[in-house]
């Protein structure tokens, strides 16, 4: 399942096209994804201006001029593709200078129609001439329309924890969140009620950078360890976003291109390899922890 960096990468790819755009027409090709679409889904989107495109945890949030927010979750295989008409050198120059620029490589045919797929479930036709296609082979993603004023109290969002790339995450907050917890450190970091958007890959990577065992009791971190872990989380996520996320099985960018952070993994999916930590002679181990693969170095992660 895409983690925070993958979702942020998709946001960066979509934002230059969606921000300020008017949704001229909506095609919905089935009644449901993981859940049924909201009542009047296409009608409520048609004619709306997308004020901004944000991310909360693993959700994309399109703020609409109607006062509603289109909340989108990619599930396991969901992906957005930009089909943009050829708009000449000036537009190409603007795109090339914008965040997520390398996600633009899908162009409409001269007739203005995107190549169809049986898994293209939602198409947003913009007044600009661009079309945003949501494709989801396994249909674990979903879309919801939420009143902007009630977003924080909505069941999807009211129990989501702090954003790990925001200014709030620091050693002091980690110690506060983990106080008294006997759960393993990795399990605590994956608890979306505490920290939003962290997943199996990046938790494993952050723990290795911080020199902390995934089996360590979360409530035992001292001040220095907690600060080191907070810094490692931010660094790993920031580097992963810059690399376009990680490509494992089904994740692709808005143009179908692959992410590259998997080439920088230090421990994830590297069982049996030498530990890359300077001065460490250990070997990366793998075990199943809470039903998920955990990778760590028994020598330098304490």
For residue 92, give both structure tokens: 């190409």
Nearest by Cα to 126 from 159, 83, 168 = 83
Rg over alpha carbons for the chain, rounded to the nearest Å, is: 21
Buried b (16+ CB within 10 A) or exposed e, 145-178: bbeeeebeeeeebeebbbbbbeeebebebbbebb
Contact in structure between 301 and 208 (CB atoms under 8 Å):
yes
Q: CB under 8 Å, gap of 24 or more: what pairs does 276-281 form?
A: 277/208, 277/211
Contact in structure between 161 and 195 (CB atoms under 8 Å):
yes
Composition of the chain by helix, strand, coil, percent to 5: 30, 25, 45
Nearest by Cα to 222 from 209, 212, 208 = 212
Catalytically active residues are 2-3, 58, 292
Contacts of 194 (CB under 8 A, 6+ apart): 161, 162, 177, 178, 188
Is 119 labelled as part of a ligand binding site? yes
Q: Where are the alpha helices (DSSP H) in the chain?
A: 4-18, 41-45, 88-96, 171-178, 185-190, 200-210, 223-242
Phi/psi at 44 (nearest 5 deg)?
Answer: -70, -25
Is 181 labelled as part of a ligand binding site? yes
Is 186 labelled as part of a ligand binding site? no
Nearest by Cα to 245 from 21, 72, 9 = 9
What DSSP element (H or E) covers 288? strand 284-289
CA distance 185 to 91: 48
Question: Residues annotated in the binding site, as ranges?
Answer: 119, 138, 181
Question: Residues annotated in the binding site for DNA, as ranges?
Answer: 119, 138, 181
């Amino acid at each position: 399942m895409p983690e925070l960096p993958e979702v942020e990468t998709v946001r960066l790819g979509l934002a230059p096209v969606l921000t300020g755009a008017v949704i001229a027409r909506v095609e919905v090709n089935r009644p449901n994804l993981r859940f049924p679409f909201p009542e009047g889904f296409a009608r409520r989107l048609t004619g709306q201006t997308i004020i901004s495109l944000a991310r909360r945890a693993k959700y994309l949030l399109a703020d609409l001029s109607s006062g509603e927010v289109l909340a989108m979750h990619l599930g396991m295989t969901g992906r957005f593709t930009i089909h943009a008409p050829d708009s000449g050198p000036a537009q190409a120059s603007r795109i090339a200078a914008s965040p997520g620029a390398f996600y633009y490589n899908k162009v409409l045919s001269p007739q203005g129609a995107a190549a169809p797929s049986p898994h293209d479930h939602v198409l947003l036709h913009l007044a600009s001439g661009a079309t945003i296609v949501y494709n989801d082979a396994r249909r674990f993603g979903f879309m919801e329309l939420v009143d902007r004023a009630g977003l924080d109290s909505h069941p999807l969002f009211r129990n989501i924890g702090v954003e790990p790339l925001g200014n709030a995450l620091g050693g002091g907050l980690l110690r506060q969140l983990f106080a008294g917890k006997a759960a393993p450190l990795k399990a605590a970091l994956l608890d979306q009620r505490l920290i939003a958007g962290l997943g199996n890959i990046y938790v494993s990577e952050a723990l290795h950078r911080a020199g902390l065992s995934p089996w360590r009791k979360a409530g035992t971190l001292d001040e220095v360890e907690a600060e080191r872990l907070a810094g490692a989380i931010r660094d790993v996520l920031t580097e992963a976003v810059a690399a376009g996320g990680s490509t494992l099985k089904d994740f692709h960018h808005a143009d179908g291109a692959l992410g590259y952070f998997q080439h920088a993994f230090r421990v994830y999916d590297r069982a049996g390899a030498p530990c890359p930590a300077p001065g460490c002679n250990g070997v990366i181990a793998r075990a199943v922890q809470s039903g998920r693969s955990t990778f760590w170095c028994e020598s330098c992660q304490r």
